[in-house]
Structure 1
Amino acid sequence: MSEAKRVAVVTGSNRGLGKAIARGLAETGAHVIVTARTEEAAHRAADELLADGLSASGHQLDIADPASVARAMADVGYQYGQLDILVNNAGIAIDRGQAAASADMEKVRATLETNIMGTWRCCTAAIPEMKKNGYGRIVNVTSHMGTFGEMGTGSVSYRVSKAGINTLTCILAAELKDDGILVNAASPGKVDTRLAYGKANSTPDEAADTFVWLATLPPDGPTGGLYFRRRPLAW
C-alpha cells in the first residue's frame, strides 16, 4: 500500500448510495474496503471496482453486530497499517408512516440499534486506528428528516435515529478536533434507491459527491457540520 494512498471503509457499500460513495472515493485514488453483511456481497461489489482498475477489497461487516464491527476495523488496521476514512452509510428504514404515539417498539429498537448504535460502534472501533496516524475523516449519512427544521410526523424511529446521528457527529467533532480527525454529516436528499419509495430527486452518483468531498477534506476543513450538496444544512 502506497504511503500516499488513503484507506477508506464505507459501510453498506455493496449497493445504492454506499456503492456510489465507494466508487467515488476509489476514483480519488483511495483504497476502498467495500463492506456488506455477507462476505460474498462485499467481494462481488469490490470486484466491480477492481475490474475498472480501481483499488478496492471486500470485507464482511454487519454494523448491528459488535463482534463484526470490531473484527472489520481491526483487520483493516492490521492489513494496511492505517484507517483514514470512515463513511457510515449503512442503515435501515422500516417504519415509514409510523407514529410516535402508537409506535411498534420492536421496529424502534431495531432501527436505533442499527442506525445510531451501529454508526456509533463503527466510530469507536475506527477512531483508535485513525489516532495512530493522526489523521481521520468520518462522514455520517443522515437525513433531512432528522433535522428540527423538517421534523414532522411519520417514520418516527428513523427520524429519532438520524437526529441521534446528528448529535453524535457534533460531540465526536468536538472531542477529536485536536487529533487531526474531522467529523461531519450529510444528507443525501431523496436518492434513487430502494429507500426513496419512488420519490427521488437525485441519483446515487450525484448524491455521493458531497460524501466524497467531506471524506477528502484538507486539514483545515470544517468539522461538526451538516451538509447537503456541499452546502451547510440547518440542524
Structure 2
Amino acid sequence: MLTKWKEGIPSYKDTDLLTKNDIYKMAVDYVSEYEEGNIKLFCFSKDYDIRTGVSITGRTGYDVVYIMVRSSLAPEQVKMTEFERHVLIAKSFIYGQSCYFASVSIGSKDEARREKGLALKDDDYYYTYQGLEYVPRANYNQHEILLLQALEELGVGYYIKNADNFKKLIGDDCKVYLEDGTTISGYNNVCKHYDKCFLALKEKGVKTDYFLSRAENDSVVYIEYVSDGSATGTLVYAKVSDEDGLIQELRYDSPLKHKVSFR
C-alpha cells in the first residue's frame, strides 16, 4: 500500500490515528498470513479481549492450536505477561489444546514517524514478528487445576497463589473502601489489614486461594476461594497505575455476583 503521507511528521488530526484495536487487527492479520502454511486457521478474533486470551484458532493435524496475539508500536516489542501466561496455561489445561503467544511490533516505514511511535491510517508499515512462542503446560497439582477450572467460569484470570504475592500488587498509595464505609489508606496499612484477614482464616484452618479475574470493562476482580470450593468474597478495583500496573484502589463488592463450584 502506498502511503498518502509525506515524509516526516505531517499535520494530522486525532481521527487520522490508528486505534489500539486497529493495531491489534493488523497484528492478527499479519500472524494469520505468516502462519497460514504451518497451521490451518479457521477462527479469528479481531477485537482485543484479554479475558478470552485467544486471537486465532487453528489446527495442525489432529491438534487444535490457540494463538494469543499481542501488538505494540515500534520500537517496543511486547512480551508475554504473567497474567497472559496463566490465561494460556488455564486454556491448555481445560481444553487440552496447544497454546502459543505471538508478539507483533508495527512501525511506520517513515523513519521519523517510526521513532516517534506515530501510527497514522493509510500509512506503510514494517512488521517485526519473532514467531510463535509455545506455552508449556505447567505441573500444577490437582487442587490448583480445579481452581483454574473454576476461574474459567468467571473469565480466565491470574492465579495469585498466596497472600504475599497479592501484597506485591498493592501500590504505595492504595486505598481500600470497606463495606462499613471506612477507608484504609497507604501500602503499610493496607498490608496490615490483609495480614489480619489472612491470619484469621489460617487460625480457623481455612485453606484459601486468591485470583485476579478481568471483567469485560477491564476492571479487575479479586476473589477468595476456600478449600470447599466456594467463593467467599470479592473486591473490585478500577484504578491501576499506568506506570507500574499496581493496584491504586480496591472496593468491596458484596454479595458475590459469581457463584463458582468445582466440577
For the pair shown, the structure with the greater C-alpha radius of gyration is: 2
Larger helix proportion of the pair: 1
TM-score, normalization: structure 2? Answer: 0.23
Larger strand proportion of the pair: 2
TM-score, normalization: structure 1? Answer: 0.25
